[in-house]
């Protein structure tokens, strides 16, 4: 069995939808490792009776904690039922999480039908390494060289 690290997150108006979806898919979800922002995680744990790694509540930095885990390669799938009709106080964090999931090419479902497709994908049972448009080490190396050159030319101008 290939255990995936699945993050489940829902904004307030979407929490009951996520719980309904999660209950329907409990059989599959319990085979995997679950991660959530604080309140979503509390609800998933309580309603499904499965353990969830809980981060801080979204408005208190939970989205950022999740984003950091994605950067570290510790999350495989993101199911994020965000609210398209209301403004969130932590909108920059929400955007940052969604952005980083695209940068790192993490399978991301932002609505229920996409979540249905994801959870029923045969790839769930396989080892899947997301292709990335960049190699972090090469990317960093290129920038280091670029700015070293820029700085040495400034120093050269001064000499």
Ligand X SMILES: O=C(CO)COP(=O)(O)O
Contact residues for ligand X, defined by CB under 6 A: 9, 11, 37-40, 57-59, 62-63, 94
The answer to the question of whether 13 is labelled as a binding residue is no
Greatest Cα-to-Cα distance within the chain, rounded to the nearest angstrom: 70
Least Å distance, CB 27 to ligand X, is 23
For residue 116, the minimal CB distance to ligand X (Å) is 21
Catalytic residue, chosen from 12, 17, 63, 159, is: 63
CA distance 101 to 98: 5
| Nearer to ligand X among residue 7 and residue 124 (C-beta) | 7
Cβ–Cβ under 8 Å, residues 69 and 34:
no
Alpha helices in the chain (DSSP H): 15-24, 26-29, 38-48, 62-71, 91-103, 112-119, 136-158
**67/107 with CB nearer ligand X:** 67
90 labeled binding residue: yes
Q: Which is closer to ligand X, CB of 67 or CB of 124?
A: 67
The answer to whether the CB of 64 falls within 8 A of the CB of 33 is: no
Closest distance of CB 119 from ligand X, Å: 19
Has 108 been labeled as part of a binding site?
no
Indicate if 63 belongs to the active site: yes
> Which CB atom, from 11 or from 32, has the smaller least distance to ligand X?
11
127 is in an annotated binding site: no
61: which DSSP letter?
T
Residue in the shown chain whose Cβ atom is closest to ligand X: 58
**Element containing residue 88 per DSSP (H, E):** none
Residue 86 to residue 79: CA distance in whole angstroms:
19
Residues noted as catalytic: 63
- Per the annotation, where are the binding residues for substrate? 11, 15, 37-40, 57-58, 90
């Amino acid at each position: 069995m290939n255990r995936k690290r699945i993050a489940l997150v829902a904004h307030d108006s979407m929490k009951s939808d996520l719980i309904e979806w999660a209950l329907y898919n409990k059989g599959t979800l319990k085979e995997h490792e679950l991660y959530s922002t604080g309140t979503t995680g509390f609800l998933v744990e309580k309603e499904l009776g499965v353990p969830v790694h809980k981060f801080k509540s979204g408005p208190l930095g939970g989205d950022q904690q999740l984003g950091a885990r994605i950067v570290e390669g510790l999350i495989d799938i993101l199911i994020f039922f965000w609210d398209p009709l209301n403004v969130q106080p932590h909108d920059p964090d929400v955007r940052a999480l969604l952005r980083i999931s695209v940068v790192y090419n993490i399978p991301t479902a932002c609505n229920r039908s996409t979540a249905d497709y994801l959870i029923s994908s045969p790839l769930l049972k396989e080892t899947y390494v997301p292709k990335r448009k960049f190699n972090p080490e090469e990317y960093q190396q290129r920038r280091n060289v670029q700015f070293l050159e820029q700085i040495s030319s400034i120093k050269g101008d001064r000499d």
